Amino acid sequence: MIGICYNLNSNSLSSQRERGNIGHMEYIYLSLIFIPIIVAGLVYLFNNSMFRKAIVFLMSTVLFMLMVFAILQGDKEVKLSHALNFALEYLITFADYFLLAVIFLIGLKLKNNLISLLAVLQFVLMFVFEFRAGKLEAENVFYVDHLTFIMLMLINVIGPLISIFALSYMDEHEKHLHLEKSKQNIFFAVIMLFLGAMNGLVLSNNILWVYFFWEITTLCSFLLISHDGNEESVKNATRALLLNSVGGLSFVLGIIFMYYKSGAIALSEIIKSQDSSILMIPIAFLALAGFTKSAQFPFQSWLLGAMVAPTPVSALLHSSTMVKAGVYLILRLSPVYIDTWLSKIIAILGAFTFVAAALLAIFQANAKRILAYSTISNLGLIIALSSIANVYSIYAAALLIVLHGVSKALLFLCVGSIEQGIGSRNVEDMDGIKYRMPIVAFLTLLGSVSMLLPPFGVLITKWIAIEVSTQNIVSMLEIILGSAFTVVFWTKFIGKILSDGKDTKRIEVFEGLRHLPLITISILVILVSVFMTQFTNAFVVPFFKSSFARYSGVSSRALKDMYIKDFFGFNPFVFFGILALAVIVGIILYKLLKPKRYVKVYMSCENDDNYSFRSEKDKPVEFEFKNYYFDTLAKENNITLISNIISVALIAIMFGVILK
């Protein structure tokens, strides 16, 4: 096996963490947060298509450059000048209460008292807590490490690409809806606001700020799900808001417990905390908040409902970025609780979601629901990986965040395009899509293959998951079963994308605004997998070094020289090389075996074409073959119910274990 060494010590990225206020990094971080928010305001005010396109492109470029600049500067903990800090502290505190008030009012308007009640509870708890605790400031406002970079890349590369795709998608979408007045200004404003909030969420050090941005993403999600304004979307948006409010309340409780147990309010202090046993209760509450945001069982229903939103929303919020906030929080806190009883149970919970969602995905015919279940399933795997005490497990968790984000963004956008093309999101209607919409079909194929087959990265993380989960036999069994289910539902999905259909007329024309973002994302999908080792060494290993320094398994000396050559002997270059070789040989073989004659399918020689057979009096009868959905074996609703019960039980066990 050829090992590609990539020594970190010679790399500038491993430079010592710089402390304090050197240079003017704070302005870059602030711009990453506030530029999208300002753009949101502008987009909202000027409802003009040309202006919108221009500013989205401009903002994408600026965000990308800022992100690159932030990454080049390396790990930092940044203070703000006194005046700026003071102003922001007040701004965020008041904006937070304002936000909760807005959610309260939305609850009233929707006549959903539970949402209002949860908002009031959060408001009161927050208010009493801040009133009693007094000054709750973190010394360093921004805590930026390599995990932040991973998230920043996801948000500021995939986010803008999806926004650009949305420009053409939403035009088409509104054409279908026959709106009198375009609502695109609201749509794009919320998307931009969301991007800013996500940047804030991953950059902030003060956990109260994290909570504030967390709530903004909840609100954005609500606004975007209910965007179309019909009955179903409002209903599903309400459910999303309700379940995420439960998470918000759990977050608040986590913060309060955290403060009273340890006095820490900054993430940087929390993860360096020496005595992890006293932090179990706040961590459990924060983890629960993470579960709701990442749509883990039993909170999965909001994400499934969220699929009524326009496709760019599903791609951006509900698969590649917002739901990653939950796993981000859990992975961020992982150094505190790893290798405790809590981590064992969280691993079992995450792995349970992995298997249950993969099982339910087999029953789905709706392409967006298949992708949604797959998303839930992968988020579960990330959570399980974050909680298994093993170096490779943490690597795989961080890698899967990126790999899954990129692939799923591509898949959702493709399915959205197919839906606009053929007017259906049912996979049974996708026969012959490879002739009707060849570009999108090929990209969908690439996306789904990258989720399933070697040598793409997602499979490698699943492989690592099985190998490391041998420490925890329950989650191991769940992951084994889950990976079998995963193979089944993806194969069914890919089979449909590739199958012949009666209708072969091409309906797709190349549109730059629509297809170029898709092609860019698909190139990213390939690049991330090919350079997975290098990516791990550049981003994931430094994250491990800085966050898991006190983790018992690795000595400080070993930590210093740590880098990986390959994954247990799997080198992406070698395997992609084999794949490239196989493709070349395949093309040559195709030329050699070039079909000389096309024949009809075998129907006992009673057919004139591939889609019908001759019945009595030679009358042609059309036949069709649908996928198996196993609904004769078990009922989907029963599985959902049982899974919900089990996951509630597991959460109860989680809290039971930590309460002494």
Partner 1 sequence: MKEIGLVLLTIIIAPIIGGLLTGIDRKITARMQNRFGPPILQPFYDLFKLFSKETIVVSNTQILYAFLFLVFNVVALVMFVLKMDLLLILFVLAFAVTALILGAMSTNSPYSRIGAHRELISVLAYEPILIAVIIGIYFVTGSFNVDDVIKYNNFLIFELPFIFIAFTYVLTIKLRKSPFDLSTSHHAHQEIVKGITTEFAGPVLGLIELGHWYELVLLLLFIGLFFAKNIVVAIIAMLLGYFLEILIDNISARLTWKIMLRLTWSIALGLALVNLIWVYIKYRLL
Binding interface with partner 1 (CB under 8 A) = 431, 452-454, 459, 463, 466-467, 470, 473, 476-477, 480-481, 483-485, 487-488, 491-492, 494-496, 498-502, 568-570, 578, 582, 585-586, 589-590, 593-603, 610-611, 623, 625, 627-628, 632-633
Distance CA 200, CA 379 (A): 21
Half-sphere exposure of 427 (CA within 13 A, CB side): 28
CB of 525 to partner 1, least distance (A): 18
Block residue for tokens 């906030």: 325
Listed in sequence order, the DSSP H helices in 110-206 are 113-133, 146-153, 159-177, 184-203
CB of 1 to partner 1, least distance (A): 8
CB of 75 to partner 1, least distance (A): 33
Distance CA 602, CA 116 (A): 62
For partner 1, which is the closer residue by CB, 285 or 485? 485
CB of 353 to partner 1, least distance (A): 17
Bin 134: left if φ > 0, else alpha if -120 < ψ < 50, else beta: left
CB of 146 to partner 1, least distance (A): 27
For partner 1, which is the closer residue by CB, 117 or 488? 488
Crossing angle between the packed helical segments 322-337 and 280-293, to the nearest 10 degrees: 160
The b-or-e profile of 628-650 (16+ CB within 10 A means b, else e) is eeeeeeeeeeebbeebbeebeeb
Number of neighbours of residue 498 by Cβ within 10 angstroms: 15
User: Using CB atoms within 10 A of its CB, is residue 7 exposed (0-12), middle (13-18) or buried (19+)?
Assistant: exposed
Listed in sequence order, the DSSP H helices in 136-183 are 146-153, 159-177
For partner 1, which is the closer residue by CB, 510 or 625? 625
The tokens describing 337, both together, are: 């609780």
For partner 1, which is the closer residue by CB, 354 or 543? 354
CB of 459 to partner 1, least distance (A): 6
Closest CA to 286 of 262, 243, 256, 320: 256
Number of neighbours of residue 500 by Cβ within 10 angstroms: 12
CB of 521 to partner 1, least distance (A): 23
Is it true that the peptide bond before 298 is cis, omega within 30 degrees of 0?
A: yes
Distance CA 402, CA 289 (A): 21
For partner 1, which is the closer residue by CB, 265 or 359? 359
For partner 1, which is the closer residue by CB, 249 or 479? 479
CB of 330 to partner 1, least distance (A): 25
CB of 295 to partner 1, least distance (A): 25
For partner 1, which is the closer residue by CB, 89 or 431? 431
CB of 94 to partner 1, least distance (A): 53
For partner 1, which is the closer residue by CB, 131 or 598? 598
For partner 1, which is the closer residue by CB, 488 or 657? 488
Listed in sequence order, the DSSP H helices in 263-366 are 267-272, 280-293, 301-305, 311-315, 322-337, 341-362
C-beta separation of 522 from 446 below 8 A: yes
Query: First CA to last CA across the chain, in angstroms?
Result: 51
- According to DSSP, the residues that pair with 312 across neighbouring strands are none
Block residue for tokens 């997998």: 529
Is it true that the peptide bond before 595 is cis, omega within 30 degrees of 0?
A: no
Query: H/E element holding 365?
Result: none
For partner 1, which is the closer residue by CB, 586 or 656? 586
User: Using CB atoms within 10 A of its CB, is residue 130 exposed (0-12), middle (13-18) or buried (19+)?
Assistant: middle
For partner 1, which is the closer residue by CB, 38 or 473? 473
CB of 530 to partner 1, least distance (A): 17
CB of 583 to partner 1, least distance (A): 9
CB of 380 to partner 1, least distance (A): 17
For partner 1, which is the closer residue by CB, 232 or 503? 503
- According to DSSP, the residues that pair with 78 across neighbouring strands are 142
C-beta separation of 496 from 429 below 8 A: no
